[in-house]
């Protein structure tokens, strides 16, 4: 689990937030948690040529979707705290993952929980390992009456987990935000910007901005 706390002292970069997205004020959240995978945060990994500790393929920390979102929250809600973590280990082996490992998320008592996962769920496991059941259990474990949950789906298309996540969210009354359309636009990927194909298939700065835009637009809507 990789965890990072961003506090209210985070400085807003000039012109980072499009005016059209600041026009409507976000709900007043003081505690926000983002759970994701390498698109959210990945530490340096020399074997693939990744030397940074932020959302993979972004050119700078300020350009990954988490920090773009944080800048927007900071502009409107200076008191807010935002935590984020990488739960790719859940995606890779959700059928045997001990949800107690996420007790710190519940202890934080977020008012807004953004779950942005899906890329690492192997499509050939979703039936044999009952992905729907385990994703439902994840939502149940993280739910509380005081927490609004928004699930943002896979940036990469073609995985049966996407539709499963969609209908599980509907059954739980949780907002589901599809992102595969963004990943289908190759201009949103770091193709040609990184020599490693795995890194290059991650969202580039344009893709990270598109993800942040989509999530921001979704969370501005009252549940």
Q: What pLDDT is recorded for position 26?
A: 65
Which tens digits make up the pLDDT trace of 187-216?
999 999 999 999 999 999 999 999 999 999
Mean pLDDT computed over 33-51: 97
Question: What integer pLDDT is reported at residue 25 of this predicted model?
Answer: 61
As a whole number, mean pLDDT of residues 91-95 equals: 98
Quote the pLDDT of residue 5: 42
**Has residue 6 got a pLDDT over 50?**
no
Span 18-41, average pLDDT: 79
Q: Read off the tokens for 79.
A: 């008191």
Ranges of each domain in the chain: 2-9+25-220
Average pLDDT, whole number, for the chain?
89
Taking only the tens place, the pLDDT of each residue in 153-181 is 999 999 999 999 999 999 999 999 999 99
Q: DSSP letter string over the chain?
A: -EEEEE-TTPPPPTT-S-HHHHSSPPP--SEEEEEESTTT-B--BGGGTB--SBSTT-SSGGGSHHHHHHHHHHHH-TT-EEEEEE-HHHHHTTTT--GGGGHHHHHH--SEEEEE--TTS-GGGTTTTTHHHHHHHHHHHH--TT-EEEEE--SS---THHHHHHHHHHHHT-EEE--HHHHHSGGGB-TTTSSSHHHHTSB-HHHHHHHHHHHHHHHHS--
Are 116 and 38 in contact by the 8 Å Cβ rule? The answer is: no
Tell me the pLDDT tens digit for each residue of 9-23. 232 233 334 444 444
- pLDDT of residue 140 exceeding 80, the answer is yes
**pLDDT at residue 2 tops 60:** no
Q: Is the pLDDT of residue 139 over 50?
A: yes
From its phi and psi, is residue 111 left (phi > 0), alpha (psi between -120 and 50) or beta? alpha
pLDDT confidence of residue 11: 29
> Looking at the predicted structure, is the pLDDT value of residue 51 above 50?
yes
What is the pLDDT averaged over residues 130-154? 97
CATH topology of domain 2-9+25-220: Rossmann fold (3.40.50)
Inter-residue contact 73 to 30 (CB < 8 Å): no
pLDDT score for 220:
79
Q: Over range 116-142, report the average pLDDT.
A: 98
pLDDT of residue 45: 97
């Amino acid at each position: 689990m990789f965890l990072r706390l961003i506090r209210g002292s985070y400085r807003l970069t000039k012109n980072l937030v499009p005016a059209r997205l600041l026009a409507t004020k976000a709900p007043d959240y003081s505690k926000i948690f983002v759970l994701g995978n390498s698109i959210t945060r990945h530490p340096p990994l020399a074997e693939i040529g990744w030397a940074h500790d932020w959302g993979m393929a972004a050119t700078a920390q300020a350009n990954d979707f988490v920090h773009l979102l944080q800048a927007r929250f900071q502009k409107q809600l200076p008191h807010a705290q935002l935590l984020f973590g990488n739960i790719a280990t859940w995606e890779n082996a959700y059928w045997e993952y001990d949800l107690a490992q996420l007790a710190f998320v519940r202890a934080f008592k977020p008012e807004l929980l953004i779950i942005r996962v899906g890329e690492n769920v192997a499509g050939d496991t979703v039936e044999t390992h009952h992905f729907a059941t385990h994703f439902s259990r994840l939502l149940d474990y993280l739910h509380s009456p005081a927490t609004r949950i928004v699930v943002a789906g896979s940036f990469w298309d073609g995985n049966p987990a996407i539709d499963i996540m969609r209908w599980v969210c509907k059954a739980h009354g949780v907002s589901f935000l599809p992102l595969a359309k963004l990943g289908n636009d190759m201009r949103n990927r770091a193709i040609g910007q990184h020599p490693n194909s795995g890194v290059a298939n991650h969202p580039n700065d344009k893709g990270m901005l598109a993800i942040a835009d989509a999530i921001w637009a979704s969370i501005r809507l009252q549940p």
